[in-house]
Structure 1
């Protein structure tokens, strides 16, 4: 009887264990959710603990880490959050949290508050700001075409011993090119050359964008060729700038020729280029040209997205069955 009771006890124990709720597996999203919950409740002791623990567990902060901050509660929470971050373990946990907070504030376009965080970092030891710290601020300002404010940020960087890097100047260059301010864009390029920063794919992309917006398509094509000659791989959007410029001036044949001239090198790029051009031709009621492109996409076995797939089924495939 005792043996049966012991056996039953062992079986029931195993059964109950199988029903136990498993431990939560930590992840970036898990930590973000817990930090935001604690932040909304004003529990900064828990925020402090979680910010430290996630870094030690190997889960970096993300764009969602400080999502509990909004323009409505910023004036109430910022002081407490700065004090909390200032007490984090020195080194990466503290630096990463400061940078993440600046990124969140920049996205909200709370520039003065973001600069206040950067200045707090500069006064601290062992986790000072660097170029990465200021990138979100410069990016936010140039997107709003607040160029004078962006240059003041760069001046602040220089005043605390941070030499602006290529990415910082790329933000300025892209902003000016998007705004169509060719003279100022040329000034940025001159600064980059003077400081021997070189050029990367973002630099070329900005220059191609500027040439397209200024209507200088020959210059845009020359820049694209130079990228390839220099061994710099263009972004997909770099090709999209040129396609868009051709269509803006109703150069449909040239746009098609451009897309075909770069076909066969990168399957994903081909799908992107053919897809963008075909979609825009359809929107301009250039159905015959679009049919030829979508047919070619099928022949090249390129991925055709749902909207173009429907066009293919009704205009290309159906024609072949007649």
Structure 2
């Protein structure tokens, strides 16, 4: 009888068994493929990783953010993974694998290695584009706007032209820091390159205006969004509400919400609710009462955090 403890001394036998299991299973979902790829990667069976990466595309399953979870912070499996990806036939399977690997490395905060993979993609001419850089820009922009700008510069060097999402990551980072001069330069570049603004572009610009207490500029941008038919994000309105309240313009904050009310019930619920909670926390009870009454008249539910705030408030407003 085979001693199970003794069997662990024969890794080649175990590897062959694992390889056999990979080759005989028929994955039916992207999640199933991810599980098999990660099991193969952890066991060191990169021939199975290669086969699975190829077959998943033939079967119509895209890679996901979990495809390369076998790569951990120590990057022990990175070099073999890169060699495996280089051996893939040029096409969607290869590009998709590289893009997923970049996403994994970005999430692990290994920006330098993610950029290295991007350069490999460019050198191999396997379809690198702005989307390949989105995960890098996403994580880098949260930490350092100037470093994110450096990623944009690298994209240009390898002839990958930033799209609106690429610009938005960096623009938001600058606006969060209140660096409007840098933000304006970036917007000028977008205009020169014919990049059309979207909701997140305007959201970043409104945030930047509010950060430097130019809420009037934020209002102008909101008006431009309406004129151009660009839908506003919830956060775009919240930036203005919060800044008006910080500046002590309580009545103007109420007026702002009322002016934009009636277009989108979900937006109304968010804006009225945030405004009422903030007014209660600021002990502006008369203004809060006005907002709550307006919510009732519009059939907006007073629930969740707002309901908790009302209960704490000793004004005994009730729900009639």
TM-score (norm 2): 0.82
Aligned position for 1:140: 139
1:77-113 C-alpha deviation (Å, 9 max, x unpaired) = 1111112222334311111111111122122221110
Matching of residue 261 in structure 1 with residue 263 in structure 2: no
- For the pair shown, the structure with the greater C-alpha radius of gyration is 1
Aligned position for 1:92: 92
Number of paired residues? 295
Q: Pairwise mapping of residues 305-316 of structure 1 onto structure 2 (< 5 A)?
A: 305-311=303-309
The 3-state SS of whatever aligns with 1:319 is coil
Tell me if the contact between 2:175 and 2:211 (Cα under 8 Å) persists in the aligned partners: yes
Tell me if the contact between 1:294 and 1:312 (Cα under 8 Å) persists in the aligned partners: no
Tell me if the contact between 1:295 and 1:312 (Cα under 8 Å) persists in the aligned partners: no
Q: Pairwise mapping of residues 181-220 of structure 1 onto structure 2 (< 5 A)?
A: 181-220=179-218
Aligned position for 2:172: 174
Q: Runs of 5+ in structure 2 lacking a partner?
A: 1-24
Q: CA deviation at 1:206?
A: 1.2
Distance, in Å, in 1 between the alignment partners of 2:235 and 2:259 is 17
- Runs of 4+ more than 6 Å apart: 313-318
Closer/same/farther in 2, CA of residues 301 and 41 from structure 1, 3 Å limit: farther
Q: CA deviation at 1:313?
A: 6.8
CA RMSD of aligned residues (A): 2.6
Q: Pairwise mapping of residues 228-267 of structure 1 onto structure 2 (< 5 A)?
A: 228-267=226-265
Alignment counterpart, residue 155 of structure 1, candidates 150, 153, 156? 153
Tell me if the contact between 2:27 and 2:33 (Cα under 8 Å) persists in the aligned partners: no
TM-score (norm 1): 0.82
Stretch of structure 1 that moved more, 280-289 or 270-279 = 280-289
Distance, in Å, in 2 between the alignment partners of 1:49 and 1:141 is 32
Distance, in Å, in 2 between the alignment partners of 1:51 and 1:294 is 55
Aligned position for 2:72: 70
Matching of residue 102 in structure 1 with residue 95 in structure 2: no
1:48-72 C-alpha deviation (Å, 9 max, x unpaired) = 333233323322222222233222x
